[in-house]
């Protein structure tokens, strides 16, 4: 059997390319990286009347001149010059029908690569609604390639496109190639449009009205700030019921395992190491789903570009640009995609500065740690209207991370990364109501990544930590209670040795050796801190298994007469987590993106120094004023 034909999807950002890809392939896309470079590669399968076709989604580009890495990948794939990647049999060029004057020149470049091309016009419904038009039949004749109009999120025209994809051999191609130079390509596009009864659509009325408010000199920034405040408040309060339900479910499962199968060591590994360890991280799933849903929804609406537009001047002051803001915004989910998103920044210096500060923005892996400590130590006192002290503390931590990222970026740009910067440009797409499927697919990809991490890295870390905490086995002193016996195992464990070795460094911040064990765990992934502490304290706590980890942290330990963590120590720990780069995945992606260990080592160093000094300062101040 012949392998399925391979086609490439080419188009600019905002062209509706992703929506079209989803409409054609459904949820079955395989994602990965192109060999040798770090541009995301997405491959899906499309069923057509003649059988399946593999569809490769190339990175979004305005042109094929290889200025950025994304464009370089797109053009080398189309020319069949990328090692390990078969040359596509055909290319679908996606263009927004409402701004054809700008998107059509890309088609000329694709035709120039020699790959059979066709043009897919998206948003044809919006074109009509805004009073614009183009005669597809005449456009097809003028351009010399097949043309199909679609409405990606409604599925309109998708069957026509499938039929077209079924038989590339029938595609007509222009007798002579279009011009190659920029001016020539734009003129070629303008000529073809003029001959195709093209009427440019009126400005989108909805966009004009919304922007009059959302980009208003005063109202715009105010709405931006209000939105961020409500956003964080919502994540903290709306996700709470689902999280609590999951927490009790995992506790019940662990208790049930221990109660039914007896007090054996393997059963403890399963209940405490696996169920409680991994479960302690899985409970943050509702929060992560909510965060990504809001982020992707606003991105698809078109608001994220406005946010970059509003904030660009500020970014200019610290020597960065709006796109750096977008990369930093992605880092709120996770620094790894944030660092990958910096590839669209044309200036290498801006890009490096953004990579170095991206881990300072509050990634979702910190959220479990913040949630644990805030719930345990900050009272849920109402402050103003719907805002509580807890919500505002969380917002404060996000704010601290964001301003620190900007300050360090400014420092780097004025110091070791000084030099001329590249031009800034940003497109403001019309406001569009996103399809729920498109948002859902993106959220699902992130959730899958999180679940995979919970099932691998975090599971492995939990199991290793369980062994460190439980070995070597020491015999309990005669007449000791079950709880005292557990205490004695932990105190003589390998983990305790490690924690004690770290104590001189972290004692000034108010962390004891048990918290230090948590810090070791957090290096695999920050949220493992929670699982680790769950293991450390589930043993040393009272025989009251339903008590939450937060309550255990705050409650006075009868053995020492002190709580495991006091308020100054908890605040210091929060600040330490704002700054410290304890994340193996981030260091690995930094090494890959900067081509060596120099910059990840530098980043780890400066962030540890900042984390330790500021946590120390906070501990000193809090110990003096808050107790």
Partner 1 sequence: MSRNKKGADQAGDGLHLDDLPRLGRARVVGVAGTGPEVTRLRELGFVAGTEVSFARFAPMGDPMCVRLRGAELCVRAREARRIRIEPLPGAGGDA
- Rounded to 5 degrees, φ, ψ at 43 are -125, 130
Which of 25-33, 41-49, 181-189, 351-359 is the region at the interface with partner 1 (rule: CB under 8 A)?
181-189
133 within 8 A of 127, measured Cβ to Cβ? yes
179 binds partner 1 (CB under 8 A): no
Token match 């208790």: residue?
255
154, 216, 452, 598: which one binds partner 1 (CB under 8 A): 216
Residue 594: count other Cβ atoms within 10 Å of its Cβ.
18
* H/E segment holding residue 33: strand 30-33
> Phi, psi (5° rounding) for residue 516?
-60, -35
Residue 60 Cβ vs partner 1, minimum distance, rounded to whole Å: 14
Per rule CB under 8 A, is residue 426 in the interface with partner 1? yes
Q: Minimum CB separation from partner 1 for residue 183, in Å?
A: 5
**Is residue 221 near partner 1 by the rule CB under 8 A?**
yes
82-101 residues near partner 1, rule: CB under 8 A: 98-101
269 is an interface residue for partner 1 by CB under 8 A: no
Query: Per rule CB under 8 A, is residue 220 in the interface with partner 1?
Result: yes
In angstroms, how far is CA 593 from the centroid of its own chain?
16
Residue 95's φ and ψ, nearest 5 degrees, are -135, 135
- Nearest approach in angstroms of CB 237 to partner 1 is 30
Q: Rounded CA gap, 376 and 207, in Å? A: 44
Task: Decide: is 62 part of the binding site for partner 1 (CB under 8 A).
Answer: yes
Residue 367 near partner 1 by CB under 8 A: no
Min CB(150)–partner 1 separation in Å: 18
The two three-digit tokens of residue 488, written as one number? 């004695």
Q: Which is nearer to partner 1, 29 or 426 (CB)?
A: 426
Contact status, residue 299 vs residue 270, Cβ threshold 8 Å:
no
For residue 184, the tally of other CB atoms under 10 A from its CB is 13
> What is the DSSP code (8-state) at residue 508?
G
Least distance to partner 1 from the beta carbon of 137, Å? 21
Residue 65 sits in the site that holds partner 1 (CB under 8 A): yes
Q: Which of 437, 591, 613 lies closest to 508 in space, CA to CA?
A: 613
Span near partner 1 by CB under 8 A; candidates 426-434, 437-445, 535-543, 564-572: 426-434
**x-marked contacts with partner 1 along 104-123 as a string, rule CB under 8 A:** -x------------------
Among 11, 157, 322, 499, binds partner 1 (CB under 8 A): 322
Q: For partner 1, what does the binding mask look like between residues 451 and 490, x meaning CB under 8 A?
A: ----------------------------------------
- Strands of 90-96's sheet in order across: 30-33, 40-48, 51-57, 6-11, 90-96, 117-122, 147-149
Between 62 and 398, name the residue whose CB sits nearer to partner 1.
Answer: 62
Among 86, 159, 167, 203, binds partner 1 (CB under 8 A): 203
Binding partner 1 (rule: CB under 8 A), the pick from 70, 211, 557, 593 is 211
Rule CB under 8 A: say whether 383 interacts with partner 1: no
Segment interacting with partner 1, rule: CB under 8 A, options 151-159, 215-223, 337-345, 515-523: 215-223
**Which three-class secondary structure state does DSSP give residue 52?**
strand
- Given candidates 6, 79, 87, 102, which one binds partner 1 under the rule CB under 8 A? 102
Q: Among residues 218 and 384, whose Cβ is nearest to partner 1? A: 218
| Interacting residues of 373 by C-beta distance below 8 A, sequence separation 6+ | 550, 553, 570, 573, 574
**The tokens of 177 are what?**
């190639």
Coil, strand or helix: which one is 389?
A: helix
Q: 8 has which bridge partners?
A: 56, 91
Cα 567–chain centre separation: 31
Please report, as residue ranges, which positions from 328 to 347 form the binding site for partner 1 (by CB under 8 A).
346
**Phi, psi for 118 (deg, rounded to 5):** -135, 160
The pair of three-digit structure tokens given for residue 115, joined into one six-digit string:
């790959």
CA torsion 191→197→203→205, rounded to 10°? -160
Residue 277 CA, chain-centre distance (Å), reads: 23
Among 34, 188, 309, 332, binds partner 1 (CB under 8 A): 309
Segment near partner 1 (CB under 8 A); pick from 197-205, 267-275, 379-387, 607-615: 197-205
Q: Residue 125 CB, nearest distance to partner 1 (Å)?
A: 16
100/161 with CB nearer partner 1: 100
Site size toward partner 1 (CB under 8 A) is: 40
Q: How far is the CB of 322 from partner 1 (least distance, A)?
A: 8
Considering the rule CB under 8 A, would residue 205 count as an interface residue with partner 1?
no
Binding flag, residue 67, partner 1 (CB under 8 A): yes
Q: Which of 205, 427, 484, 542 binds partner 1 (CB under 8 A)?
A: 427
| 423 binds partner 1, rule: CB under 8 A | yes
Contact 596, 552 (CB under 8 A): no
Which residue of 51, 131, 256, 316 would you call a contact of partner 1, by CB under 8 A?
Answer: 316
Provide CB contacts within 8 A for 587, sequence distance 6+. 581, 600, 603, 604
Stretch that binds partner 1, among 167-175, 182-190, 354-362, 579-587 (CB under 8 A): 182-190
CA distances from residue 138 to 100, 119, 144, 232, 588 in whole angstroms, order as listed: 15, 13, 10, 51, 52
Backbone angles phi, psi at 27, to 5 degrees: -100, 15
> Three-state secondary structure along 486-515?
HHHHHHCCHHHHHHHHHHHHHHHHCCCHHH
Task: Say whether residue 231 binds partner 1 (CB under 8 A).
Answer: no
Which of residues 312 and 557 has its CB atom nearest to partner 1 in the complex? 312
Residue 25 structure tokens: 């392939």
Name the residue nearer to partner 1 (CB basis): 64 or 565: 64
Please choose, out of 60-68, 110-118, 259-267, 508-516, the segment that lies near partner 1 by the rule CB under 8 A: 60-68
Q: Which of 1, 218, 384, 478 binds partner 1 (CB under 8 A)?
A: 218
Among 28, 170, 313, 624, binds partner 1 (CB under 8 A): 313
Q: Who's near 320: CB < 8 A, 6+ residues apart?
A: 350, 353, 354, 406, 409, 413
Residue 472 preceded by cis peptide, ω within 30 = yes
Q: How far apart are the first and last CA of the chain?
A: 76
Q: Which residues bind to partner 1, rule: CB under 8 A?
A: 62-63, 65, 67, 98-102, 105, 182-183, 186-187, 200-201, 203, 211, 215-218, 220-221, 309-310, 312-314, 316, 322, 346, 422-429
């Amino acid at each position: 059997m012949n392998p399925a034909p391979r086609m490439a999807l080419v188009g600019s950002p905002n062209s509706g390319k992703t929506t079209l890809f989803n409409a054609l392939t459904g949820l079955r896309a395989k994602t990965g990286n192109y060999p040798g470079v770090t541009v995301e590669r997405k491959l899906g399968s499309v069923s057509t009347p003649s059988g399946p076709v593999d569809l490769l989604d190339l990175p979004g580009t305005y042109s094929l001149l290889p200025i950025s890495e994304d464009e370089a990948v797109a053009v080398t794939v189309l020319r069949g010059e990328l090692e390990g990647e078969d040359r596509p049999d055909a290319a679908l060029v996606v263009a927004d029908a409402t701004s054809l004057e700008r998107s059509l020149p890309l088609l000329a470049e694709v035709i120039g690569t020699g790959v059979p091309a066709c043009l897919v016009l998206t948003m044809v419904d919006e074109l009509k609604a805004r009073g614009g038009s183009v005669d597809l039949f005449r456009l097809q004749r003028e351009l010399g390639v097949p043309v199909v109009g679609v409405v990606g999120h409604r599925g309109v025209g998708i069957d026509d496109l499938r039929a077209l994809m079924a038989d590339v051999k029938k595609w007509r191609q222009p007798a002579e190639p279009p011009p190659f130079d920029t001016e020539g390509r734009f003129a070629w596009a303008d000529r073809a449009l003029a001959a195709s009864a093209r009427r440019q659509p009126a400005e989108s009325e909805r966009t004009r009205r919304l922007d009059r408010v959302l980009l208003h000199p005063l109202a715009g920034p105010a709405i931006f700030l209000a939105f961020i405040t409500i956003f964080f408040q919502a994540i903290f309060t709306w996700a709470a019921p689902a999280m609590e339900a999951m927490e009790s479910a995992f506790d019940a499962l662990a208790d049930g395992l221990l109660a039914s199968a007896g007090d054996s060591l393997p059963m403890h590994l399963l209940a405490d190491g696996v169920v409680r360890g991994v479960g302690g991280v899985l409970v943050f799933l509702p929060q992560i789903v909510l965060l990504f849903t809001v982020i992707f929804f606003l991105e698809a609406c078109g608001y994220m570009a406005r946010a970059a537009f509003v904030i660009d001047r500020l970014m200019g002051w610290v020597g960065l640009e709006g796109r750096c803001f977008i990369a930093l915004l992605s880092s709120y989910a996770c620094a790894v995609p944030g660092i990958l998103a910096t590839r669209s920044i044309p200036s290498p210096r801006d890009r490096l500065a953004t990579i170095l500060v991206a881990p300072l923005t509050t990634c979702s892996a910190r959220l479990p740690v913040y949630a644990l400590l805030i719930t345990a130590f900050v009272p849920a006192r109402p402050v103003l209207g719907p805002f509580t002290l807890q919500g505002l503390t969380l917002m404060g931590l996000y704010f601290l991370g964001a301003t620190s990222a900007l300050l360090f970026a400014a420092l780097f740009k004025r110091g070791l990364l000084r030099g001329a910067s590249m031009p800034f440009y940003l497109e403001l797409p019309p406001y569009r109501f996103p399809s729920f499927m498109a948002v859902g697919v993106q959220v699902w990809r992130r959730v899958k990544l999180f679940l995979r991490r919970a099932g691998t890295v975090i599971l492995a870390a939990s199991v290793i930590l369980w062994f460190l905490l439980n070995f070597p086995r020491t015999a309990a002193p005669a007449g000791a209670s079950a709880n005292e016996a557990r205490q004695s195992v932990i105190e003589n464990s390998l983990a305790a040795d490690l924690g004690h070795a770290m104590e001189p460094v972290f004692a000034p911040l108010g962390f004891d050796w048990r918290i230090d064990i948590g810090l070791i765990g957090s290096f695999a992934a920050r949220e493992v801190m929670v699982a680790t502490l769950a293991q450390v304290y589930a043993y040393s706590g009272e025989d009251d298994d339903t008590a939450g980890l937060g309550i255990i942290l705050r409650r006075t330990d009868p053995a020492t007469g002190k709580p495991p963590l006091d308020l100054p120590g908890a605040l210091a720990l929060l600040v330490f987590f704002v700054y410290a780069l304890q994340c193996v995945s981030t260091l690995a992606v930094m090494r890959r993106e900067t081509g060596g260990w120099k910059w990840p080592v530098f980043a780890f160093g400066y962030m540890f120094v900042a984390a330790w000094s500021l946590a120390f300062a906070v501990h000193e101040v809090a110990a003096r004023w808050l107790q």
